[in-house]
Amino acid sequence: MNYLEFEQKWKKLEQKPSQTDVVLDMLKGLSDIEIAKNRGITEATVRKHISTTCKAFGVKNRRKLVSLYETYKPELLIGNSAINHTKHMRQPLTGRVPLDSPLYLERAADEKCRRYLQAAQSREESLPFIRIRASKGMGKSSLLVRLCHFLEKQQKQAVGFIDLGSIDLSEFTDLNQLLYQFTYVISQKFINKLNNHTPPDLQDYWRKDIASGLNCTNYLKEHIFSKIEQPKTLFIDGIDTVLGQEKTQNPFLNLLRTWNESEMKLVSEVPIVWPSIVIAYSTEPYPEYGIKGSIMQNVGIEIDLKEFSLDETLELAKRYGLNWSLNEVNSLRQLIGGHPALINRAFFEISQGNITLAELEMEATSLTGPFRYDLLKKLDLLEPNENLKQCFQKILRGENCNDEFANFQLEKAGLIKVGQKGVTVSCELYKKYFDLHL
């Protein structure tokens, strides 16, 4: 069963409230006796509802039914385990959220990416090139690893996950060396899927009289991707690592564009052997490197990660074991918006008893407050750029900044929001802090 089939069956089940309630209680770990008491029904009725659900989902027993939900709706199994998990956390959630963490929240982008990648398996004319972008701390890498796991375990795809941040930074000043390392890492990620084919040693294959981009493309095409019969997807994280690298930025990004245009679309009678591609990058460095537009304009499918909604923030509060009211969630969101990293930081500190919501609001901008590192990074981004700083100061005062590029860079850095109400500072936290420090 794939994700879409599961979703269809889940929606049908939701049309039967009494049966759904029993299944939800079962997923939380309640026994048949506890479910019966909880719902005011007999144990026989509980067992009947569970048996009927198993048949509807095409599984033989409740253990396999739970396994399906672990794969496609893990949030429903969290129950008290999330509270226990957060009580024993020793540090706040940062970086990639572990696959088994109950604190990962799915957003619309998760389903959208899965839908594109699943549809790719039946395509013959083109493959998706997905670009996931957002400022730092929005959950790009966490989404990538879940998509990778989904395709590999549920769709039985050949999957390769590359993080450019793991390549020695000294390689980024030399295009030939960068693409050599890039090619090597990709080939190693797919080496176990080559159906007993042994590719030539990359060092022997790499020719100095041929452009490094051609060396890279030809090697991967002839000796890696063409030897894998099953559907495949290449994930590339940390694309922003190449930004600002004078000798490698544009050639590297142009190589990816070329793959999208010539290798991932049916442009001749030769079948496509290339994988689908999903990349992720932070837009936060845009101001630092003077980038005035999308780094890969008109390439593939753009996925902009959104902040947590009100409902998502409320759900995350529950997962941290916080029995918060809507007013409390609204107060926190007024202070820090819905930025995932800031929300998780706040919930961690409060759930561990380190601080109350009222104290958080009072100490938010202090040098010892929980958001000090994020604030200092944002300040460090603004200080060297006088034009950007002046534009942001105008917005802080409620004035308009007519510098279109500065507005674009401030938005991509997560400092302002551009919406129906015009241009505003992203959250009260930034407004208070930069009123003091700019």
Burial tier of 288 (Cβ tally within 10 Å: 0-12, 13-18, 19+): middle
Model pLDDT, residue 101: 83
User: In the 3-class helix/strand/coil scheme, how is 245-271 assigned residue by residue?
Assistant: CCCCHHHHHHHHHHHHHHHCECCCCCC
Give the whole-angstrom CA distance, residue 117 versus residue 62.
Answer: 29
- Grade residue 114 by pLDDT with cuts at 50, 70 and 90: very high
| pLDDT tens digits, one per residue of 24-82 | 888 877 888 889 988 999 999 999 999 999 999 999 888 888 888 877 776 676 554 55
Lookup: tokens for 212: 């490094």
Do 70 and 194 lie in one domain? The reply is: no
Mean of pLDDT values over 183-208 = 94
Residues 19 and 145 both lie in one domain: no
Select from 130, 144, 129, 158 the least CA-distant residue to 264. 129
Supply the pLDDT for residue 123.
64
Q: Which of 304, 322, 340 is the last residue of a domain?
A: 304
What is the reported pTM?
Answer: 0.80
Domain boundary among 304, 320, 336: 304
Mean pLDDT, rounded, for 298-309: 94
pLDDT of residue 395: 96
Position 90 confidence tier, pLDDT thresholds 50, 70, 90 = low
Secondary structure element (H or E) that encloses residue 433, with its range: helix 428-437
- % of the chain beyond a pLDDT of 70: 95
Tell me, yes or no, whether 85 lies in a domain: no
For residue 160, what are the domain limits? 108-304
In a domain, 90, yes or no: no
Q: What is the mean pLDDT of residues 250-259?
A: 96
> The CATH number of the domain where 9 resides is what?
1.10.10.10
Please determine, for residue 396, whether its predicted confidence score (pLDDT) is greater than 60.
yes
Residues 252 and 143 in one domain: yes
Residues 169 and 68 placed together within one structural domain of the fold: no
Number of domains in the chain: 3
Question: Of 268, 233, 270, 68, which is closest to residue 149 (Cα–Cα)?
Answer: 233
Mean pLDDT of the chain: 90
Q: Is residue 182 predicted with pLDDT exceeding 50? A: yes
